[in-house]
């Protein structure tokens, strides 16, 4: 951390900025959770006030989890309101239990990732995944209803953008001093029906008020009357206050930088640019893998050359589009630079204060935060200034744009070395094409279904099989993502084809057992195991 940390005013400003960013989503989530706008807004207002007090003591990286956990702990959000009513758009929420409904809304409205949503609910990632599976919409054939989900996403956007200013003002209004008790009214009691003693009470109160007003008037007229009392020194004693204790923690600009959710993406603009086209170039890499080599007519060499693309799938559906003929000479080829993910230096010792902050972050996030802090402390002042400028530009983008770039960048960083090399080779090969040929390839890729395009984020080898594997992969617990990806990469194309058949054949409620059995089978026995399952 820097020696000149900003004051608590900066901390208050950061907290206020964070709350302005979540207040609309919080209001919608609370309303959908309990079925009452009034009770939901009251819960949000209380959460906003409480979070303002606790935020300075927590790292900014955990603010989203802390806030949503605090909001969902409100008593009115732990059950449906007595007068709960959901609009037609959100009518399916009425059929859900409180837990699955909260799991759905944390993902749909709050926009939290799986691990953060599980932490906000105080449950494991597997338990959260199970609750989410119960809450998402399904078609009659048991597959997730993507159209219904997209309709909900659109409804969230409309609700948030159209939220009225007066409602937002109520979220920040001070709490009411008193609350009407149920079953009681505020109407005056008829004096004629009240007991005699109670009829004199208003008169006594008025007399007391008159005496108090007179006393204060006298005090105002003789402002120094108290100092003239001879016994004042025996009643009032003054003493200087001791020095204030130092604050537990202050907001630090460095802390806000290296704990940024998208730190690595902001720090790696070249990687973000490459990852933005990852689906296309993964698709093109698979396309190149099934094309005959340029020297296919030449005599075979006596020495077999290594073929890295042999690990890629080779479906018959991939075909190179016909390229328009051109008589213009090809321009001189300039090879684009190869892009690699940022390397994290391992010879940097973190300050004790930074290590202390990391130790207070949830365990699943600590390794990533440690990498980010290490990279930050390895930078020069100019590099940090450049990051700060790029961070402002990144945060100014729409949330949907940020989410897309984040997903693609993270997928690009997770590519195995063979897939990453195949993608880079595809970039080089694409650059050699004429503009007309490049446009034809882009058009062929754009004609694919969105689901098929998304599958290419997994790389050239798996992307071709993703549409058929999607029912099996879509609802897996977070803890199984890495093991399943590793298993798919080690499988042959024939084994992945067998698994695709099983994924279509097994009913939805048995897919979790199929995944567990697949992951528990050794690599060398997986082919035989798939054949056995297909024969059943």
The total of other beta-carbon atoms located within 10 Å of residue 359's CB is 9
Q: What pLDDT sits at residue 268?
A: 93
136 secondary structure, DSSP code: S
What parts of the chain have a pLDDT lower than 70? 1-11, 141-142, 176-238, 244-252, 290-335
Q: Are 43 and 70 spatial neighbours (Cβ–Cβ below 8 Å)?
A: no
The tally of CA atoms less than 13 A away on the side-chain side of residue 37 is: 9
pTM for the full predicted model: 0.50
Query: pLDDT, tens digit, for every residue of 175-196?
Result: 764 344 444 444 444 444 445 5
240/341 Cα distance (integer angstroms): 59
pLDDT digits (tens, 9 = 90+) for 238-288: 678 777 666 544 556 788 888 899 999 999 999 999 999 999 999 999 888
- What pLDDT score does 252 carry? 66
Model pLDDT, residue 328: 54
Q: Which residues pair with 355 in a beta bridge?
A: none
What is the spatial distance between Cα 250 and Cα 502, in angstroms, rounded to a whole number? Answer: 55
pLDDT of residue 426: 92
Phi and psi for 473 in degrees, rounded to 5?
-90, -20
Q: Which residues pair with 138 in a beta bridge?
A: 144
Instruction: Round to whole Å and give the CA distance between 409 and 150.
Output: 23
Q: How many CB atoms lie within 10 A of CB 444?
A: 17
CB 402 within 8 A of CB 410: no
Burial of 387 (0-12, 13-18, 19+ CB in 10 A): buried
């Amino acid at each position: 951390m820097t020696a000149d940390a900003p004051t608590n005013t900066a901390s208050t400003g950061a907290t206020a900025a964070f709350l302005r960013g979540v207040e609309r989503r919080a209001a919608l989530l609370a309303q959908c959770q309990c079925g009452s706008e009034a009770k939901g807004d009251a819960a949000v207002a209380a959460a906003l006030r409480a979070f303002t007090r606790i935020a300075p003591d927590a790292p900014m990286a955990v603010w989203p989890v802390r806030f949503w956990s605090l909001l969902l702990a409100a008593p009115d959000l732990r059950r449906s309101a007595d007068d709960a009513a959901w609009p037609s758009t959100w009518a399916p929420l009425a059929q859900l239990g409180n837990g699955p409904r909260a799991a759905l809304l944390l993902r749909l409205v709050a926009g939290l990732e799986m691990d953060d949503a599980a932490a906000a609910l105080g449950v494991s990632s597997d338990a959260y995944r199970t609750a989410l599976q119960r809450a998402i919409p399904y078609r009659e054939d048991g597959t997730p209803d993507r159209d219904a989900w997209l309709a909900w996403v659109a409804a969230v956007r409309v609700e948030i953008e159209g939220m009225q200013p007066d409602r937002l003002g109520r979220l920040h209004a001070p709490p009411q001093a008193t609350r009407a008790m149920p079953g009681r009214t505020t109407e005056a009691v008829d004096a004629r029906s009240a007991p005699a003693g109670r009829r004199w009470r208003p008169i006594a109160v008025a007399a007391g008020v008159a005496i108090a007003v007179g006393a204060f008037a006298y005090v105002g007229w003789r402002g120094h009357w108290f100092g003239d009392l001879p016994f004042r020194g025996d009643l009032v004693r003054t003493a200087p206050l001791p020095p204030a204790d130092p604050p537990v923690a202050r907001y630090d600009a460095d802390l806000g930088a290296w704990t940024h959710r998208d730190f690595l993406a902001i720090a790696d603009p070249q990687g973000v640019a490459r990852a933005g086209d990852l689906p296309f170039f993964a698709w093109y890499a698979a396309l190149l893998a099934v094309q005959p080599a340029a020297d296919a007519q030449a005599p075979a060499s006596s020495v077999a050359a290594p073929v890295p693309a042999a690990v890629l799938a080779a479906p018959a559906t991939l075909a190179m589009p016909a390229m328009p003929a051109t008589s213009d000479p090809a321009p001189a080829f300039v090879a684009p630079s190869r892009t690699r993910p940022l390397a994290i230096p391992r010879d940097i010792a973190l300050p004790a204060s930074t290590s202390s902050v990391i130790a207070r972050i949830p365990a699943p996030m600590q390794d990533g935060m440690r990498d980010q802090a290490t990279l930050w402390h390895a930078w020069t002042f100019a590099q940090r200034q450049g990051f700060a400028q790029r961070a402002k530009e990144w945060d100014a983008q729409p949330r949907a744009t940020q989410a897309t770039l984040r997903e693609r960048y993270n997928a690009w960083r997770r590519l195995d070395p063979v897939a990453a090399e195949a993608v880079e080779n595809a970039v080089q090969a694409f650059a050699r094409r004429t503009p007309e040929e490049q446009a034809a390839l882009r058009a062929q890729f754009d004609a694919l279904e969105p689901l098929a395009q998304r599958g290419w984020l997994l790389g050239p080898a798996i992307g071709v099989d993703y549409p058929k594997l999607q029912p099996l992969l879509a609802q897996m617990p977070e803890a199984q993502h890495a093991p399943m990806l590793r298993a798919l990469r080690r499988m042959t194309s024939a084994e992945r084809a067998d698994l695709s058949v099983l994924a279509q054949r097994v009913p939805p409620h048995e897919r979790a057992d199929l995944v567990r059995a697949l992951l528990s089978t050794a690599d060398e026995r997986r082919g035989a195991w798939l054949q056995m399952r297909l024969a059943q």
